[in-house]
Chain A
Amino acid sequence: MSLGMSLLSVDSLRTSLTSASGIVRAVDGVSFEVAAGETFALLGESGCGKSMTALSLMRLLPDAGVTAGGRVLLGGRDLMALPETDMREVRGREMAMIFQEPATSLNPVMTVGQQIVEVLDRHTVLRGPAARRHALELVEAVGIPDPAQRLDTYPFQLSGGMKQRVMIAIALAGSPGLLIADEPTTALDVTIQAQVLELLGRLQRERGMGMLLISHDLGIVSQLAHRVGVMYAGELVEVAARQAFFTSPCHPYSRKLFAALPRPEQRGGVLETIAGSVPPLTTIFTGCRFADRCQNAWARCTEEVPAWHTVADGHIVRCHLFDTVGDAGADITSTSSPPLVATADVASQPSGVPLLEAADLKVHFPIRKGVFKRIAGQVKAVDGVSLTLTSGRTLALVGESGCGKTTVGKALLQLLRPTGGSVRFGGEELTTLPPDHLRTLRADMQIVFQDPYGSLDPRMRVGDIIGEGMAALGKLSAVISKDTRMDALLARVGLSAGMRGRYPHEFSGGQRQRIAIARALAVEPRLLVCDEPTSALDVSVQAQILNLLKELQSTLGLAYLFITHNIAVVEHLAHEVAVMYLGRIVEQGKVEEILGEPKHPYTEALLSAVPRIDAAAGRPVIVLKGDMPSPANPPSGCHFHPRCPRAMPVCTVVYPPETRLGETRRVCCHLFGERVTAPVSAAGISSRREEA
């Protein structure tokens, strides 16, 4: 790939931002090349300078940012030396960029067509009807249905996935040679992400564009990239072709990234973690930036900045371990994943008596319309969910955004009063319990939230935050002082006792999540609802939290309801899985059953859509068409039928009844109902690749 003359060549690019805490060297001497027709991926965790690199190339840095040095050659021209007016010619025409948040990146008061035509106006000779025609072609090319109508809609009328397609159409309008995609699917759901990734890959191939892909997700990189550059703390630490990178990553950081990824074969084991967190980029580094988190570091690492070493053709790494050319990585101490500790799996045996039983749980929100705000309909956020959970077990509730999984969690805890159905906790019916009686039960069931920044009151000290529940629920005993208990709790979640007097903003995301867990544990609950507790965290930190949760479960016998969209986490942590679609559970069973052999077409598509690092193996991806319908107006019959690759006539009419497949497994699909006899081959479906 890199044989051809490179399209983009970045040479020791430096970008710094001025901030309250000093000068942030967000990009510190980054060099790489992108050839025409090649996808180069910048991989790294949040805060390592990936996005700043992209914005520096476009010269679109925020006001506080400045490019301090380096050269950026695009088609042989040094962009850093161009006057601003010439640079404007480059933007949109020679290189274009798509951003992470499609929801905010489009102008809300201009139609889709206007926003595309604007680029044609700027960079092409097309005007008027001709421009509109071309815009139409572009909208068609990015796979938006009803393109002619869509041109005249406003962004807010489109779903997230459609908006991102519009962004892509805008980026393509100037026929750029280089496309920069900054986390293009991070804000999207898995099935939508699959659509957009597929689209990006196809467009890149068809148009022979160079693409700079920025992502934190190894799976996405593995699916799209030809070459990979790993960034850490403002600099590249490893560059390699995809194949080489995914088979033998060299830099200890790269290896750790792989090891921290939850994988099915590690089930029940402890995940590899990276101690600490990414150092602040205000630091002036004297040695290797990764040294203090690296298991292999020795004195030299903190004293001397490592140079680039070539491991193989086109595979370079910035690490002292590879100083002697030839025996690449031979002397790396084995960092194999820690022993698969059989964490007292006593607890994970179903004890028979369910701790929590929900039957036909419903949460409906009224839609009010008209002059007098009469109730005109119901948003059936949760519409008849039944599940059981026993002590010491984890039930994962899986689904995409808007499917009602968070509402289920809140309704189970009675934070939202359910519209119908029953919730029994330890034999007691919660839905009819008077509030003061419910209060005493609250100590038994707690919740951990997704956002580590929103879940802790910024005006309270850590000690007060943890003590809040104890005080509110009278969980203070005379024998052990409150402080002693708090210190024990902090130690329990891996924080030090001295942190009691500090405020949340002094902690990192992972530490905050530990505090949130400690707060929940303070009242000694038996059930913990974890609402996407790791989705805002980086992979390495996620591994720490998952390990902690696992360890707590095995020692305290907690039951977890784990709400997530992240299949990898489910594989690692859950005993049972329930898959939700549009307010209902479509399939549930043991984790091995569901993930190993999904039955429901939605489960199947969901699992196949998750980008895997072994995508090279040629695993087919079932790309679902369209978006999830609104729960205010669900499709008739089976809610999934408009998107289902295997829909039958009956699916449009009747919602499928629950079918038991074995002792633990249940699925709601006509394919498995009594009347259906046709054999179903997984291969038969997965070959049907749908493009929306």
Chain B
Amino acid sequence: MPIILWTDALVFVLIACALATARYVSRREYLLSSWRRVGESRAGMAALTVLTMFVMIGLLDSLHYRPRLEAVAGKLANATNAANGYSTEVRSALDMLLMPLKSATEKTYSAPLATHLYARETVELPDGTQARVFPRLRHGGVHLKEPAQDWTRDVAARILLGLVFAVLAGLTFAGIAVRVAAQHWHVPWWTARQRICRGETRFAWNAVLVTLAALLLIAGPVVALAGGYHVFGTDKVGQDVLYLTLKSIRTGLVIGTITTLAMLPFAVALGIVAGYIGGWVDDVIQYVYTTLNSIPSVLLIAAAVLMMQVVIDTHPDWFATAAQRADARLLALCLILGVTSWTGLCRLLRAETLKLRELEYVQAAQAFGASSVRIMGRHILPNVMHIVLIAVVIDFSGLVLAEAVLSYIGIGVDPSTISFGTMINTARLELAREPVVWWSLVAAFVFMFVLVLAANLFSDAVRDAFDPRLAGRQVAPATQGQAA
């Protein structure tokens, strides 16, 4: 049974908005030309390729359903859920794909690609004595008869296989790109190939293809290995770390995008109104955002999240499943982050509107007797949209970082929600362990770093293309800086 969580719905709204924007942009030459400049930026396009991959994973993870219970289980399940025969567990399309990883839990820690557990266990030997040994894993490398001998060969073979597939897939993609480009330019395919290879294209095809190749060359072996091993090891309760990191992506993306989506209408409307109308309206709006701004954002978030937690905890009956409860908490976190972060953009837009208000084309519209609403909508809004766009892409990376910090402090997502923050939070003491367990942290670090770096590079490209003047705006909502 498909199920749409609140955040899923908003993700879909977001996609609809993105598509509508794309349509709008495609009909306006001045916007297209700016986007073309983004397309020319090699770093920006490489980053976009990486981001697209993350977004795909996040989208797969946003298609939720509740699996039909087996006949036997259906009998056992009681009351509310048994009636319709669906499990209370909410899964996503990504879970379905990753089912081998998700279900392959071990007892506790195991190192990446290991065949044995990372902790000794007391086992009874055939001769009846007891010994403390590293037992074999239940899933990782279970197909190997003699791990000591076969491991190297098996791993190498799998990596090779993965690489072969990666090369094939990469060539296919490149072929498609060359064909499309050749058709577009009306040249034979070898000319198109030559142009792309030499970087003579306006759109940074070569950056996209090189990034794609790199991603495939990493993903291929990982996929091949994941069939038989825990590529990134397992955590304390034996969950596959690769699975956890992939699941974390959606949480990061949701926080980075929905928060902005939630605050955008406020920031834009209030900023423009304050700047254009002025007078007491301006005073009130300024008062509201100065007041909100004056509370250090971490503390405001902490207070709001604590209160929200009380609400959720005292009303357990609102949510049918744990996933829905966790989702409600995620959404609430987004809204709270939104409330604390709209002030910056609002202030920026107010200042820009003050400038635009004095411009002569606005006065010309006034001379036609155009109404204020009309002027704000037709003249001011289109001329501040680039600031909004830049703010959105810049805030994204800051929010992803903020999520980790907030979850660590205990005011982030629900502890049952898999996110970079919860991963780090559970793993942070592992470095102090002897022997060191490093893989959870490293996996979380690598994925988060790549995601945020890609977002930062992309936002740089967007900013340069749309407004080099804004290059100085500081990165994140103050959360990051204050918490550190």
Contact = CB atoms under 8 A, between A and B. Distances in A.
Interface of A: 410, 413, 415, 438-440, 442-443, 445-447, 449-451, 454-460, 465, 468-469, 472-473, 503, 505, 516, 519-520, 523
B30 A459 contact: yes
B366 A415 contact: yes
A456 B361 contact: yes
B122 interface: no
B72 interface: no
Nearest to B371: A472
A449 B364 contact: yes
A520 B363 CA distance: 12
8 contacts: A415-B367, A442-B367, A442-B368, A456-B361, A458-B383, A465-B361, A472-B365, A472-B369
A468 B361 CA distance: 11
Closest 10 CB pairs of A and B: A439-B369, A455-B360, A449-B360, A459-B382, A442-B369, A472-B368, A469-B368, A457-B361, A454-B360, A472-B370
Interface residues of B, number: 19
B29 A519 contact: no
B365 A468 contact: yes
B349 to A, nearest CB: 16
Given A413-B367, A516-B364, A519-B364, 13 more contacts: A410-B363, A445-B367, A449-B363, A454-B361, A457-B378, A457-B382, A458-B30, A458-B383, A459-B28, A465-B361, A473-B368, A503-B29, A523-B368
Contact of A468 (B29, B360, B363, B368): B368
Interface centre among B360, B364, B367, B382 (most CB of A within 10 A): B367
A415 B366 CA distance: 7
B262 to A, nearest CB: 26
Nearest to B366: A415
B374 interface: yes
Most buried by A among B361, B370, B378, B379: B361
Contacts of B370: 468, 472
Contact of B363 (A443, A447, A469): A447
Contacts of B369: 438-440, 442, 472-473
A413 B369 CA distance: 11
B359 interface: yes
Contacts of A445: 367
Nearest to A455: B360
Contact of B367 (A446, A457, A459): A446
A581 B91 CA distance: 78
Contacts of B379: 457, 459
A459 B374 contact: no
A451 B363 CA distance: 12
B469 to A, nearest CB: 15
Nearest to B359: A454
Interface in B335-375: 359-361, 363-370, 374
A447 B362 CA distance: 12
B439 to A, nearest CB: 47
A420 to B, nearest CB: 22
A447 B367 contact: yes
Contact of B30 (A465, A503, A519): A503
B15 to A, nearest CB: 25
A520 B360 CA distance: 13
B360 A451 contact: yes
A158 B363 CA distance: 31
Contacts of A454: 359-361
Contacts of B364: 447, 449, 455, 516, 519-520
Contacts of B368: 442-443, 468-469, 472-473, 523
Contacts of B360: 449-451, 454-455
Contacts of B367: 413, 415, 442, 445-447
A456 B383 CA distance: 12
B453 to A, nearest CB: 27
B374 A472 contact: yes
A415 B382 contact: no
A505 B28 CA distance: 13
Contacts of A472: 365, 368-370, 374
Contacts of A446: 367
Contacts of A447: 363-364, 367
Contacts of A438: 369
B53 to A, nearest CB: 31
Contacts of A455: 359-361, 364
A454 B367 CA distance: 15
B465 to A, nearest CB: 11
Interface in B377-422: 378-379, 382-383
B341 to A, nearest CB: 27
Contacts of B361: 454-457, 465
A523 to B, nearest CB: 7
Contacts of A503: 29-30
Contacts of B378: 457, 460, 468
A465 B365 CA distance: 9
Nearest to A516: B364
Nearest to A519: B364
A150 to B, nearest CB: 32
Nearest to A410: B363
A457 B29 contact: no
Contact of A457 (B28, B366, B383): B383
B35 to A, nearest CB: 15
B466 to A, nearest CB: 13
Nearest to A451: B360
A294 to B, nearest CB: 33
B467 to A, nearest CB: 13
Contacts of B30: 458-459, 503, 505
A228 B385 CA distance: 49
Contacts of B29: 503
A464 B60 CA distance: 43
Residue among B363, B382, B383 having the largest count of chain A Cβ atoms under 10 Å = B363
Contacts of A449: 360, 363-364
A413, A442, A443, A472 interface centre (most CB from chain B within 10 Å):
A472
B366 A459 contact: no
Nearest to B381: A459
A473 B30 CA distance: 28
A171 B369 CA distance: 50
Nearest to B383: A459
Given A438-B369, A457-B383, A415 B363 contact: yes
A188 B260 CA distance: 47
A19 B262 CA distance: 40
A445 B367 CA distance: 8
A519 B368 CA distance: 10
Nearest to B382: A459
A439 B366 CA distance: 10
Contacts of A450: 360
Contacts of A458: 30, 383
Contacts of B366: 415
A154 B274 CA distance: 34
Contacts of B28: 459
Nearest to A469: B368
Contacts of A442: 367-369
Contacts of A520: 364
A523 B30 CA distance: 27
Nearest to A450: B360
A449 B374 CA distance: 21
Most central of B30, B366, B368, B374 by chain A CB within 10 Å: B368
Interface in B81-134: none
A469 B363 CA distance: 12
B382 to A, nearest CB: 4
A455 B370 CA distance: 16
A454 B374 CA distance: 19
A465 B368 CA distance: 12
Instruction: Tell which of B30, B363, B364 has the most Cβ of chain A within 10 Å.
Output: B364
Contacts of A410: 363
Contacts of A413: 367
A442 B361 CA distance: 16
